[in-house]
Structure 1
Amino acid sequence: MEKGSRARRVMWDTFVKMQNCVPNLDKILKGIQIYGCDPSHQPIPAQLLLEFLSELKDVRQKHKETLRAQTESLRVNTILMREKVKVSQLVDRYAELTVISTVRDRRLVEHELLARGRDHEEWRQKHLREELEKIRTDQLFQSSFSRSESKSGSSAAVAGVPGIGKTTMVQKIVYDWATGKIYQQFQFVFSFKFRDLNSINCRTNLKELILDQYPYFGNFLREVWKNPEGLLFIFDGLDKFNDKIDFADSRRNTEAQDSCTDPEFKCKVSDIVYSLIQGKLLPGCSVLVTTRPTALHLLEKAEISVWAEILGFVGEERKEYFIRHFEDRTVAAAVFKHVEENEILYTMSYNPSYCWILALALGPFFTQRARDPQRVPKTITQLYSYYIYNILKNHGRQIERPRDVLLRVGQMAFRGVSEKKIVFTDGDLIKYNLQPSQFLSGFLMELLEREDSARCVVYTFPHLTIQEFVAAVAQFLIPDGRDILKFLTEAHSTTDSRFEVFLRFVAGLSNPMTARGLEEFLGAFPHQTTCRVIDWVKEEVKRQSGNTWSEAGKRSLLNTLHYLFESQNRGLAQAALGSVEKLSFSGMTLTPIDCAVLSHVIGLCDTIKHFNLEYCHIQCEGIQRLGPGLHKCQELRLSYNELGDSGVKLVSAALRNPECKIQKLRLMNVGLTDSGAEDFVSALSTNSSLTELNLGLNSLTDRSVPALRRLIFTLPSLEWIRLGDNEFSKTGRRELRSLREPGPGQ
């Protein structure tokens, strides 16, 4: 205080910055205001400060050291015999995710593997430039992103699909706080997993929850409660919580529920979480909740200040993952290049969990010297076949009959798919006569869960898609597969998508080339089962191809075409589509991966004449995937898609093809401009098949008139063209009308 005005100003600025870090600082400041600036007149504030320094400083340091030790390592499962779990430093392996400061308004009813890849990235890039804002994890409690006007205490909800990195993000947040990098406004951070909280069936309180994990707090918690503004509580995985927390339930405001305002009052775990988020318990504290989108509705009426969603990896973030995964940058570049060039695999790589599977399965192809590029997986069935092949190669010889064991694992996996169950217990293993082993650990991860005061082991597949694939393999290991046709039909007809990816795997495994690696360790798949699967796919495609009048019919047909794609069976595709002349998906949103599948199908079939993709939200990326097969259709309808000039240019490539059969082409309202029209007309200069062309509702102006004149006079096959509702002037329209009547000899 005797250093002058500048020193006093710095001191007061420092107090402001320390306000949320130091308990009782408000009392100290009030004491200064009452007693003045002379330290000799401040016995009470000085005593309070000494109490903090002597009692809580050591506990806070111990807490940081504990959290740092718990979070500094990242454990990643492998499929290698020599190394079941790879332990790395979190800072070395953590790849930044894209997080946006809102949650997109959409209903996620489809399987997470079916989520879009490249158009997901285009969506992100487009909307981040507009209304959506990227937010760093250290900004989740900044007032600039908050929807609440409260100055102290806030709640943040972060949503994301399975495997997108929510739990790893929480680990990184805790580690960064413990190492002093972020959130230093919080004196203490307490992190819980809803999965662990499920085992607490009795009434408890917040004090017991904390002491169970951090017993060194002892009797200091009462001092901790005095500064709730300095506390951050993290609850990870709301979707895994068995007890329902409904913030719209008015009964929670009853007297019994309202009693959970004391951190030492015993109540249900759900009431503790509810009261913390709603600000009834320790008002002023902050809370972070993570969840899958499927449980977001539970938080709609909660006092959430900041909503955020993890979009996963986009652009260079995907590449960074592979660079961090592989020690050899050359291998990392080769693997990512293969992923980038394959739409199926690239679509998966927005999700860290899929990146992990891709890296494990593809890595050996680019590290072995004698490798065959033709064998590198191109479909998801081929990818997972090689993933399981590696497990069998490294662990299969440790047991006598791997075929029988994998059959039982697959049967358990299928029951899980049927019941939407992803966590299995010792009781499940006993039911299917399975015992923990090094071989089994290649498929099932062991997790510790709490059960009252003890801990028990539960099991889960590394990812849902691995569970689905093992379930599909089991169908080919059943000795007598007579009922498989009925089984497949029932699974395909379910109203939700729980069997969708499972059925793709079944269809893909019917290809002998795909199954060959697995048969090396499991023995031959029954020929009759393979034939029945192929027959089922063929008949299902035939049955669904004439049922496209409804949205459900179109979706069902598209699914069966995905089965064809996974089978990679040219003869099957030609037999299934041999009499199909029309494919219509009008009004149905198609992803780039859907477009890649359709292109594959059309490329194998010579009978499809009418191809209707109007109102399908196809963008440039989708047309690029469709491109190789478009020239084979006689009537092509692409109106009302966001193709733009670059997309129309890709259509032009089909028109340039010497074998082009396109006679009728609809390109209404596709975003074509004068620049694109010139290139389009040039492409048509060598075409001899086009008879009808619709370019209405685009952005053509008088600048395009000379090119259109040239088109009309030089394209001998063209009989009809529509150019209405463009941006021509009166003069331009008059000039175009004059072309309606051909002159002598024209």
Structure 2
Amino acid sequence: METMIEEYQVIEDKNSRLGESILLNKRYIPPIIIKKHRWQEDDLHQIVAGGNKDLDDLNQRENLECISIGIDKLFEPNEHGLLASTVVLQGPSGIGKTTTLRKIMLDWASGNIYEKFDYIFYLSCKEMKLIQADTSLAELLLSNCKDPKTPVSEILANPENLLFLIDGFDELRFSLDYLNSKLCSDPHEKASISCIFNGLLRRTVLDKSHLLITTWSMAAEKLKRYLVSPCSFEILGFSPKGQEVYFSNFFEDEQQAKQAYTFVQGNKMVYSMCFAPIVCWSVCTVFQQQFESGQSLDENLTTSTSLFVFFVTGMLNHCSCKQTAQKHLQSLSSLAEEGMRKHTIVFEEEQIKKHNLDAENILALFLNKNQCQEGTMSRSTFSFVHFTFQEFFAALFFVLEAKPQSNANLIKLLKDNQEKTDGFLTATVRFLFGLLNGDTVGFIQKNLACKVDFQIKEILMKWVMVSATKNPPLKEQKLLELLHYLFETQDVEFVKAAMERFTEISLSSLPLTVADCLALTFCINYSYKKHTLHLQDCQLGYQQLDVLMLGIANCLYLSLSDNKLEDSSVKLLCEGLKQPDCELQSLTLNVTGLTDESAMDLCYALSEKQMLTELYLIGNFFTDKSVSSITYLIENCKRLRILSLYKSPLTSDGIKKLMRLEKRIRQSGRRLIIIV
């Protein structure tokens, strides 16, 4: 066990120098892990989009922390007393799945958890898919152990006491495509890696063993086809307290940690992304560079793109002069673009040479090197330290000075991203839009002496315009992605031109994060036109509404139905409605949990809106106590034509009062319909 403890007790930072390492227990923060009660496809790149709905509202995050499941409880009996032998841990890229598995390995080797298992094997799918020669499961496990004396055959004799940690099922998406492929049944029989993994997942080999599998959320549905009665959990990253502890652990200087965390809290967009460990690490690394150079924290750190530009530039300039930094940037970008185009994240040594990536310090900075053993032969493969860096560098490839075929490849990338739903290209496109920002371009040109191709701005604008006029219209998820693309530009004129085509925006039934609402509000605010906005069943809470109200003045029609707003959020809504330039004509708040407590605030705020013609309050909890406030609204809002209180718990007396009011208003010459 000592060998295993030595292996798993340390981790290397993604930008660490040779020989540098950090204790896992110092960097590891227990993530929020919750039980998933249904299989669903989530957004692959929520970390760059800015968050996960379950983590967005601070109160909700704290509530989730209370019900979070510890890593030692993943194989506990369920509510029916049944023990799962297969557990799936899903979540987006950069959320901490691999680190969590390493922590399980360390804690088990230290005797702290899962004592019922005689042995736990860690299998990295990224490494396994590189093995081309046939092998046996026993040989695979032995080669995966640091201790060559590990009695693998004896261990396999009792599979019920074994746990396999299979890290990164999504990495195998190309080798497990055929459900009818040969299945491994004997752990000592030589077979292909695809055959072995098929056997493990589909229980034809070591069927009594236990499996803990991590995967991107978007690959969960595919994984479901292979498994029998899996128990599914979702890893949601850090709680607010966890974020703070991460900053505290990262910086040795307590004052710097406090200063960095306070700065991030003041930046809603960056803070909304910091639930993801990869973002927390990137932000802390950028701030560390600032502290070391004696500079103040960059107040222009407003988007995920600006964060990565600042980080990558600092790291390149730290390792090389401007001229060589420019060369390395172009090489990394061309490698990344090839990977995105060919849908791969693992590169052979020949590809590294082809892209002129020959500097060891740069390779160590942004690429992981893996040795793949095949019999007596070994070969080197490479991958970016994190997939997000590959996505960023791929976007940068198109922004740097024009290259043959780059525009054609860009157009194809945009087309593929819009047509596919796997999310593989989404973050690359978002970074691409972010790199259009004038300040960002200037920063790149100044600090890396790179020339920029401004022609791509025209290509992206044309693509946005075509997307806006698609028939049928963009689906909700694709429209939300496009709003994030526009937000990343922080280019007001670009956004104004684009939003002219999006007069009606429907994001209904999408769980919206604070970051989503920031992007939406930014786009609406910088639009020449007033908009119709449908946000039914978007799981909006106080935090999201706080952001959305900044854009309500640019809406003519607004629907917030089927969101649990309740009375606490009504005051925010009223503040938005009171904005002098708010010309709202129709407001729909059906089934939003409103009660008499909010009736007065809402009715008095709306009474000032002389453009309001329709108000729908179906399925709320207004009683006779609200009749006086409703009367005030109707008498003062002269253009109101339709008011629906259908399915409200009004008594017959309350209904009679409203009907008499309706009759009196009609007799005065106004058109009015009250529905109760």
Give the TM interval when normalised to the shorter protein.
0.7 to 0.9
Q: 2:658 aligns with which of 719, 736, 746?
A: 736
Q: 1:158 aligns with which of 76, 89, 111?
A: 89
Q: 2:341 aligns with which of 390, 408, 418?
A: 418
> 1:448 corresponds to which residue?
371
- State which drifts further: 474-483 or 697-706: 474-483
Secondary structure, aligned partner of 1:468:
helix
Q: 1:514 aligns with which of 440, 448, 461?
A: 440
Deviation at 1:676, TM superposition (A): 1.6
Q: Distance in 2 between matches of 1:569 and 1:737?
A: 51
- State which drifts further: 363-372 or 232-241: 363-372
> 1:382 corresponds to which residue?
306
- State which drifts further: 166-175 or 336-345: 336-345
> 1:394 corresponds to which residue?
318
> 1:93 corresponds to which residue?
27
> 1:322 corresponds to which residue?
247
Q: Distance in 2 between matches of 1:284 and 1:561?
A: 48
Secondary structure, aligned partner of 1:459:
strand
> 1:438 corresponds to which residue?
361
One-letter code aligned to 1:674? D
- 1:732–1:549 CA distance, 2 compared to 1 (3 A): farther
Q: Distance in 1 between matches of 2:150 and 2:424?
A: 50
Q: Distance in 2 between matches of 1:489 and 1:269?
A: 36
- State which drifts further: 200-209 or 443-452: 200-209
Is the Cα contact below 8 Å between 2:36 and 2:234 reproduced in 1? yes
> 1:13 corresponds to which residue?
none
Deviation at 1:217, TM superposition (A): 6.3
- 1:179–1:587 CA distance, 2 compared to 1 (3 A): closer
Report the count of equivalent residues.
Answer: 661
Q: Distance in 1 between matches of 2:413 and 2:175?
A: 30
Counterpart check, 1:403 vs 2:326: yes
- 1:654–1:212 CA distance, 2 compared to 1 (3 A): closer
> 2:9 corresponds to which residue?
72
Q: Distance in 1 between matches of 2:562 and 2:585?
A: 19
- State which drifts further: 208-217 or 313-322: 208-217
> 1:136 corresponds to which residue?
70
Q: Distance in 2 between matches of 1:87 and 1:630?
A: 49
Deviation at 1:246, TM superposition (A): 8.4
TM-score (norm 1): 0.78
- 1:327–1:493 CA distance, 2 compared to 1 (3 A): same
Is the Cα contact below 8 Å between 2:341 and 2:413 reproduced in 1? no
Secondary structure, aligned partner of 1:316:
helix
Structure 2 gaps of 5+ residues are: 670-676
Secondary structure, aligned partner of 2:372:
strand
One-letter code aligned to 1:351? A
Structure 1 gaps of 5+ residues are: 1-63
Measured against aligned partners, the alpha-carbon deviations of 1:315-367 in whole angstroms (never above 9, x if no partner) come to: 32233222222223333334334444444323432322222222222444567
Q: 1:657 aligns with which of 568, 576, 579?
A: 579
- State which drifts further: 314-323 or 583-592: 583-592
> 1:188 corresponds to which residue?
119
Which residues in structure 2 correspond to 1:252-291 (within 5 Å)?
252=183, 258=185, 260=186, 264-269=188-193, 284-291=208-215
> 1:333 corresponds to which residue?
258
Q: Distance in 2 between matches of 1:241 and 1:643?
A: 42
Secondary structure, aligned partner of 1:665:
strand
Counterpart check, 1:589 vs 2:515: no
Measured against aligned partners, the alpha-carbon deviations of 1:294-318 in whole angstroms (never above 9, x if no partner) come to: 5543454534564433222233223
Q: Distance in 1 between matches of 2:598 and 2:255?
A: 39
Is the Cα contact below 8 Å between 1:78 and 1:85 reproduced in 2? no
Counterpart check, 1:168 vs 2:99: yes
> 1:44 corresponds to which residue?
none
Which residues in structure 2 correspond to 1:463-542 (within 5 Å)?
463-479=386-402, 484=407, 487-494=409-416, 495-496=419-420, 497-523=423-449, 525-526=451-452, 529-530=453-454, 532-542=455-465
Q: Distance in 2 between matches of 1:458 and 1:103?
A: 38
- 1:437–1:632 CA distance, 2 compared to 1 (3 A): same
Q: Distance in 2 between matches of 1:236 and 1:547?
A: 39
Q: Distance in 1 between matches of 2:211 and 2:2?
A: 22
One-letter code aligned to 2:9? E
Higher relative contact order (CA 8 A, sep 6+): 2
Measured against aligned partners, the alpha-carbon deviations of 1:677-710 in whole angstroms (never above 9, x if no partner) come to: 1221233355444344332332211121121122
- 1:229–1:698 CA distance, 2 compared to 1 (3 A): closer
Counterpart check, 1:235 vs 2:160: no
Deviation at 1:378, TM superposition (A): 0.3
Q: Distance in 2 between matches of 1:128 and 1:677?
A: 29
Q: Distance in 1 between matches of 2:120 and 2:457?
A: 56
- 1:471–1:147 CA distance, 2 compared to 1 (3 A): farther
- 1:476–1:690 CA distance, 2 compared to 1 (3 A): same
Deviation at 1:284, TM superposition (A): 4.9
Deviation at 1:67, TM superposition (A): 0.8
- 1:682–1:330 CA distance, 2 compared to 1 (3 A): farther
Is the Cα contact below 8 Å between 2:511 and 2:537 reproduced in 1? no
Q: 1:601 aligns with which of 520, 523, 526?
A: 523
Q: Distance in 1 between matches of 2:234 and 2:224?
A: 14
Measured against aligned partners, the alpha-carbon deviations of 1:412-470 in whole angstroms (never above 9, x if no partner) come to: 21111122211112111122233133234333232333333344332222222221222
Is the Cα contact below 8 Å between 1:334 and 1:366 reproduced in 2? no
> 1:677 corresponds to which residue?
599
One-letter code aligned to 1:594? D
One-letter code aligned to 1:186? F
- 1:676–1:230 CA distance, 2 compared to 1 (3 A): same
Give the number of the structure whose alpha-carbon radius of gyration is greater.
1
- 1:155–1:311 CA distance, 2 compared to 1 (3 A): same
Q: 2:618 aligns with which of 696, 719, 726?
A: 696
Deviation at 1:711, TM superposition (A): 2.1
Counterpart check, 1:348 vs 2:282: no
> 2:672 corresponds to which residue?
none
Is the Cα contact below 8 Å between 1:632 and 1:660 reproduced in 2? yes
Is the Cα contact below 8 Å between 1:197 and 1:450 reproduced in 2? no
Measured against aligned partners, the alpha-carbon deviations of 1:95-136 in whole angstroms (never above 9, x if no partner) come to: 101223446411246434366625222699879989x96432
Secondary structure, aligned partner of 2:328:
helix
Is the Cα contact below 8 Å between 2:201 and 2:226 reproduced in 1? no
Q: Distance in 2 between matches of 1:197 and 1:175?
A: 21
Counterpart check, 1:706 vs 2:628: yes
Deviation at 1:479, TM superposition (A): 4.4
One-letter code aligned to 1:336? Y
Q: 1:668 aligns with which of 567, 590, 593?
A: 590
Secondary structure, aligned partner of 1:493:
helix
Deviation at 1:628, TM superposition (A): 1.0
> 1:35 corresponds to which residue?
none
- State which drifts further: 465-474 or 446-455: 446-455
> 1:47 corresponds to which residue?
none
Measured against aligned partners, the alpha-carbon deviations of 1:40-99 in whole angstroms (never above 9, x if no partner) come to: xxxxxxxxxxxxxxxxxxxxxxxx1111111111211227xxx46741112111110122
